[in-house]
Amino acid sequence: MIKIYSSLDEIKSFFEILKKRGGEDNHEALKSVEAILANVKEKGDEALLKYTKDFDGVELQNLKVTEEEVEEAMNLVAPELISVINKAISNIRKYHEKQVRNSWMMTEENGIVMGQKVMALEKVGVYVPGGSAAYPSSVLMNVIPAKIAGVSKICMVTPPQKNGKVNPDILAAAKLAGVDEIYKIGGAQAVAALSFGTETVPKVDKIVGPGNIYVALAKKLCYGTVDIDMIAGPSEILVISDEKSDPSFLAADLMSQAEHDRLASSVLITTSAELAAKVKEQLAIQVEKLERKDIIVDSLQRYGGILLVSSIDEAIELSNEIAPEHLELMVEKPFDILGKIKHAGSIFLGSYCPEPLGDYMAGPNHVLPTTGTARFYSPLSVDDYVKKSSFLYYPKAALAEVKDDVITFTKHEGLTAHGNSVKVRFDNE
Amino acid sequence: MIKIYSSLDEIKSFFEILKKRGGEDNHEALKSVEAILANVKEKGDEALLKYTKDFDGVELQNLKVTEEEVEEAMNLVAPELISVINKAISNIRKYHEKQVRNSWMMTEENGIVMGQKVMALEKVGVYVPGGSAAYPSSVLMNVIPAKIAGVSKICMVTPPQKNGKVNPDILAAAKLAGVDEIYKIGGAQAVAALSFGTETVPKVDKIVGPGNIYVALAKKLCYGTVDIDMIAGPSEILVISDEKSDPSFLAADLMSQAEHDRLASSVLITTSAELAAKVKEQLAIQVEKLERKDIIVDSLQRYGGILLVSSIDEAIELSNEIAPEHLELMVEKPFDILGKIKHAGSIFLGSYCPEPLGDYMAGPNHVLPTTGTARFYSPLSVDDYVKKSSFLYYPKAALAEVKDDVITFTKHEGLTAHGNSVKVRFDNE
């Protein structure tokens, strides 16, 4: 179910397949999304209720989740889940608190003061997908950095189930993480509501969180009206291994990614042909006991691969070309090569650091750049929930020192009113 | 040429006009841009040369600016401009160096190591507009933070003049700021070239810099393939003044913004009706000597305003509603109110800190969020030229401590292969 590639030509052709992953034409979906955005902008709640009836199959009276519904959910959730959510919250907080940045200023002896003021965003919208699986971990990862940044109002949107309720695990995670308001809205209409505001839903400054293609397109179209987190594609893992790793660990890690999605990509790069063969065996053995076997097999066949290379340096070079979302360094001395990794969302070091550890419990964020965008995007962080203002103060004497330089510059750019604003301050001297 | 608004109703109607500024329908432009992107993606340099002939009216042999052309430009530029460019570079560097962030890590006693690796982007494209006016200051503001971040390759694109050359002031600024490669390409085709790469132009990781509507739309459409700086609209200034400011300073500052563009907005909020009347007089007097009088008058009539309020706190509240790109605090004790400013791109404190000082010489960046996007965007900074990776290391014993928690979490999310990747590591114990 997974191919082994041993020549560079084969590897390069495989990379071409990976690059096209998830890049299908969305022309029709885009037209639907444009119509939904326009309709919500014009009709507000009325449009939201209609789309919820049409798409989610439920007629709601109220879009907003009540305190009672949240309390009810807290009672329905397994106590063991509440307990691990609380442990995860504590670890995620500890890590993200290190990301907090202070405002700063610098002064000069002639009285100049300048600096940068760091402030939390006021209102943030968090999209949480509905559907068959509920991911409370995703609620934590999107909400906790916003809380640490100091966002005043966090509004969660999530599609209702057929019974008109929200999955209780999701509500419990929202409550424990500190979400302020929850709305039963999904799809492009939820993104529209948060971007433009309606009678019930507040307009926010930024929208984060994963969603289907309609949600992703709506976020892209609303970008600029609000900020968004990033443009996300299908997920991937890349594992670099020397000959010493345990093949059963490697197989398990590849499949943990593959079970997400038929478009997910799981790639192992190794220096050992013997190991490659053993991993293949392990995949066949382990997959039998896994619930999402069909998805795993399909994903590994389409976008999985074991690449044989002659050195760990060559493996790193290929990894930097892929710029993977998740990168596991399963080599004897993983810290030795950390400095060579140029592009990766999250890096997992050593044999006892499987990616799912980072998905849930360890602390770093699991919202990561996908499909090669780790070249320029970063893991979701406290930085995503703040914005900065620069500030500048000059006393008169300090402006006098530079006034001629500013005027010279404005003259060469043909902006005389710019020069005039400096000049006028010394006209009566 | 500027209206005075004294009731809150009038002010709110004026704000509605401001909010619609620059929001015209770009449906036709969007279609052209889509075609240009597709064509450059398919045909590369051939398409670039054809568009340059059609749009810029010049048949080029080479898209890349040579070393000789740069040297020639350095000889053509006025020495006084070289001198102020060098002074500006020094100030801009000093400010932006304070923004540099270190990678960090945290350790725990049980051997856990985790942290965040901060790395410069590899390749960045800087768009520099051509047309009537050349803005070397814009080159500095976009390039210097990239240099400080450590970007390996900075590629500048700018449309050629009719004679096939690039404005020498632009080339000199690029040379002095440290641009690595310069290409004579403008418009949406330049953004396409940098996003997809061609035979001559390298594919970059991020595109920054201002441009016309075609450039802006191309950047928006390519967002996700590459990163972009921000979605920029027309420029604005807001000045808050008590009764003590000099009306001639205020008038000059409003006009320095108004001269940019007929869509620019210049707004004064003051507690003094007497001052408002004097500013109006000063505008009429000063505008007569300014070269761009027509644009100034038009801009002030359309999007200029003097708002009379009863207190500085009320002025701040209105300012926070506008979230201006440039905010001048022309009050006696400007630092007293800095803490109340929630949304602004760049804040100028006191009577001797006119906005053009920040445009050229002081140090903070002049690439700022416009049309209310200061609610969520920040000034261009070193942060825009880095990306982060998180990293995580767990020894076996540390994983053993949390393994049951991770497995519990995966079970509730229905992801058994996730749980398996932890479980398999302890199967033979």
Q: What is the DSSP string of A328-373?
A: EEESSSHHHHHTT--S-SEEEESTT--HHHHHHTSSS-S----TTG
> Averaged over A201-217, what is the pLDDT?
94
pLDDT at A22 over 80: no
Task: Find out whether B108 is annotated in a ligand binding site.
Answer: no
pLDDT at B131 over 90: no
> Averaged over B6-18, what is the pLDDT?
94
3-state secondary structure of A326: strand
pLDDT tier at B132, thresholds 50, 70, 90? low
Question: What pLDDT does A231 receive?
Answer: 81
Question: What pLDDT does B98 receive?
Answer: 97
In angstroms, the CA B158 to CA B183 distance is 6
Question: What pLDDT does A130 receive?
Answer: 84
pLDDT at B159 over 90: yes
Substitution target from A391, A422, A423 for chain B, most B beta carbons within 10 A: A391
Question: What pLDDT does A30 receive?
Answer: 87
Substitution target from A80, A118, A328, A406 for chain B, most B beta carbons within 10 A: A406
Question: What pLDDT does B339 receive?
Answer: 97
Q: Scan for tokens 């520099």, then name that residue.
A: B128
3-state secondary structure of A78: coil
> Averaged over A384-395, what is the pLDDT?
98
pLDDT tier at A160, thresholds 50, 70, 90? very high
In angstroms, the CA A227 to CA A33 distance is 18
> Averaged over B213-219, what is the pLDDT?
92
Decide if B223 touches A, using CB distance below 8 A. yes
pLDDT at A20 over 90: no
Question: Which of these CATH numbers, 3.40.50.1980, 3.40.50.2020, 3.20.20.70, 3.40.50.300, describes B27-101+121-228?
Answer: 3.40.50.1980
CATH 3.40.50.1980 range(s) for chain B read: 4-22+233-362, 27-101+121-228
pLDDT at A249 over 90: yes
**What share of chain B in percent tops pLDDT 70?**
99
Question: What pLDDT does B231 receive?
Answer: 81
> Averaged over B374-381, what is the pLDDT?
97
CB atoms B354 and A414 under 8 Å: no
Question: What pLDDT does B245 receive?
Answer: 97
Token reading at A375:
């070249």
Question: What pLDDT does B130 receive?
Answer: 84
CB atoms B354 and A425 under 8 Å: yes
Nearest CB among A223, A364, A424 relative to B392 is that of: A364
A349: nearest CA partner in chain B: B393
CB atoms B389 and A409 under 8 Å: no
Question: What is the interface size between A and B, counted as CB pairs within 8 Å?
Answer: 381
pLDDT tier at A371, thresholds 50, 70, 90? very high
Decide if B38 touches A, using CB distance below 8 A. no
pLDDT tens-place string over residues A71-82: 999 999 999 999
**What share of chain A in percent tops pLDDT 90?**
92
Instruction: Tell me which H or E stretch contains A37.
Output: helix A27-43
pLDDT tens-place string over residues A265-323: 999 999 999 999 999 999 999 999 999 999 999 999 999 999 999 999 999 999 999 99
CA A174 to chain centre: 17
Question: What pLDDT does A378 receive?
Answer: 97
SS (H, E, C) chain B: CCCEECCHHHHHHHHHHHHHCCCCCCHHHHHHHHHHHHHHHHHCHHHHHHHHHHHHCCCCCCCECCHHHHHHHHHHCCHHHHHHHHHHHHHHHHHHHCCCCCCEEEECCCCCEEEEEEEECCEEEEECCCCCCCCHHHHHHHHHHHHHHCCCEEEEECCCCCCCCCCHHHHHHHHHHCCCEEECCCHHHHHHHHHHCCCCCCCCCEEECCCCHHHHHHHHHHECCEEECCCCCCCEEEEEECCCCCHHHHHHHHHHHHCCCCCCEEEEEECCHHHHHHHHHHHHHHHCCCCCHHHHHHHHHHHCEEEECCCHHHHHHHHHHHCCCEEEEECCCHHHHHCCCCCCCEEEECCCCCHHHHHHCCCCCCCCCCCCHHHCCCCCCHHHHEEEEEEEECCHHHHHHHHHHHHHHHHHCCCHHHHHHHHHHHCCC
In angstroms, the CA A85 to CA A81 distance is 6
In angstroms, the CA A228 to CA A209 distance is 9
> Mutual orientation of helices B79-97 and B136-149 as an angle, nearest 10°?
40
**What share of chain A in percent tops pLDDT 70?**
99
> Averaged over A134-142, what is the pLDDT?
95
CB atoms A390 and B383 under 8 Å: no
CATH 3.40.50.1980 range(s) for chain A read: 4-22+233-362, 27-228
From chain A residues 188-217, the ones with a CB under 8 A of any chain B CB are: 205-206
Question: What pLDDT does A86 receive?
Answer: 98
Decide if A167 touches B, using CB distance below 8 A. no
Question: What pLDDT does A241 receive?
Answer: 98
Task: Find out whether A189 is annotated in a ligand binding site.
Answer: yes
Q: Which residues of B45-57 are buried (b: 16+ CB within 10 A; e: fewer)?
A: bebbbebbeebbe
> Averaged over A415-421, what is the pLDDT?
95
pLDDT at A394 over 90: yes
Q: Which of the pair, A284 or B21, is modelled with greater confidence? A: A284
pLDDT tier at A232, thresholds 50, 70, 90? confident
CA B365 to chain centre: 8
In angstroms, the CA A40 to CA A46 distance is 8
Q: Which of the pair, B28 or B276, is modelled with greater confidence? A: B276
> Averaged over B341-350, what is the pLDDT?
98
Q: Which CATH architecture has domain A27-228?
A: 3-Layer(aba) Sandwich (3.40)
Nearest CB among B115, B289, B406 relative to A357 is that of: B406
> Averaged over A89-104, what is the pLDDT?
97
B334: nearest CA partner in chain A: A393
Question: What pLDDT does A142 receive?
Answer: 98
Chain A positions touching B388 (Cβ under 8 A) are 378-379, 381
Token reading at A330:
């399963």
* Domain B4-22+233-362 CATH class label: alpha beta
In angstroms, the CA A280 to CA A282 distance is 5
Question: In sequence order, which residues have a C-beta less than 8 Å from that of residue A182 and are 6 or more positions away?
Answer: A64, A65, A70, A155, A156, A157, A158, A166, A171, A174
pLDDT tens-place string over residues A103-123: 999 999 999 999 999 999 999
pLDDT tier at A132, thresholds 50, 70, 90? low
**Contact (Cβ atoms closer than 8 angstroms) between residue A325 and residue A369:** yes
From chain A residues 75-94, the ones with a CB under 8 A of any chain B CB are: 78, 80-81, 84-85, 87-88, 94
CA B291 to chain centre: 26
